[in-house]
Chains A and B, each alone.
Chain A
């Protein structure tokens, strides 16, 4: 084997090894901050692995959502944890708690072993050299309304998966708002550097988000990637000290949050009512319908992610 065929294998080997080590450090670091940094590094390496596997759509989603936004959410959560007062515990209570913890340590170990065994069985029982469903997707792509097979699967062939994912995100935000209470620390003045950077980057990010949404029909991109970039702009604005005007956080914010889910649900109900299957597009209008559903989903997912970062529930009405 000559050097040029060996090199990609070495690269993949190093990537795989780094992934395992980063995953271990992310879980095993005693300091939460180190764990989060390792998790973000893991996301970046993972996206390189997806690129090597010829899956640029997943690589984009992984780096934008997995590494970027989840990392920002985790860091925000950590800042809140450090700001909150730790609950006072008497020594005997804490000793008892530690004993109980030690007693039940084998429970997660057992569960993990069962999951590992199940996964091993599933991988073992897979047929060797299965082409999967890619042939079926390729055969029907002309009727899907888009030419990017990933978008065709996500929005058309298995559109109900995407519908449920969007609803899950909305549920997550509702849960966070229900917990509420912890007000975010007032940011000290962001300083001129972050301020200028935000002013320069926000229009670029908005343009990129729109491009990813538009390009998703033909090439890697789509609603989730576009939403992640949109949310990145929002998080940057929040970090720079910008807060939405109270007039916008009442009804308008909630309308934007539910726009995507409502449009998806309305479309699903329409398809059933007109005697088609759930989310079965009429082929001639499929492209246009997918674009509008994706646009609404992008807006809703992006704003939901920003609201998750802000975490505190904005008041229902102005002046409350």
Chain B
């Protein structure tokens, strides 16, 4: 295993761990707002690690550019849609969870 392959594998595993944490949060958190928080935050960071890992592995600047474009588009879409869902829930009067 070359050093760059090792770095890529470590980055991909860290990314997968973030995705797992986000999914656990989606299933376990009590209301829509906290679930969105868990999902979007961890997915964005997780995807960042996965993209970085794949970029290290790819060995071509063209592919790196495409991967970065995917990351930016998913970041924009994910953050906006999370806002829209939370906004829609707030307008419909979904109350926030309190301890």
The interface of chain A, by Cβ under 8 A from chain B, is 191, 193-194, 196-197, 200-201, 204
> Is A193 touching B84 in the complex (CB atoms < 8 A)?
yes
- Inter-chain CA distance A108–B83, complex, in Å, is 43
> Is B73 touching A194 in the complex (CB atoms < 8 A)?
no
- List B contacts of A197 (CB < 8 A): 76-77, 80
B63 to chain A minimum Cβ distance, whole angstroms, is 15
- Inter-chain CA distance A201–B80, complex, in Å, is 12
A272 to chain B minimum Cβ distance, whole angstroms, is 44
Question: Taking chain A's interface residues, is the majority helix, strand, or loop, or is none over half, making it mixed?
Answer: helix
Pick from B73, B76, B77, B87: contact of A191, CB under 8 Å: B87
Closest to B87 in A: A191
B55 to chain A minimum Cβ distance, whole angstroms, is 20
Q: Give the 5 A-B CB pairs with smallest separation, nearest first.
A: A197-B80, A193-B83, A193-B80, A194-B84, A197-B76
> Is B84 touching A204 in the complex (CB atoms < 8 A)?
no
B11 to chain A minimum Cβ distance, whole angstroms, is 19
B56 to chain A minimum Cβ distance, whole angstroms, is 21
Take A193-B83, A193-B84, A194-B84 as given contacts and tell me if A204 and B77 are in contact as well, using a CB distance cutoff of 8 Å. no
- Inter-chain CA distance A91–B79, complex, in Å, is 48
- List B contacts of A193 (CB < 8 A): 80, 83-84, 87
> Is A204 touching B73 in the complex (CB atoms < 8 A)?
yes
Cross-chain pairs A/B with CB under 8 angstroms, 12 sampled:
A191-B87, A193-B83, A193-B84, A194-B80, A194-B84, A197-B76, A197-B77, A197-B80, A200-B76, A201-B73, A201-B76, A204-B73
- Inter-chain CA distance A201–B73, complex, in Å, is 8
- List A contacts of B77 (CB < 8 A): 197, 201
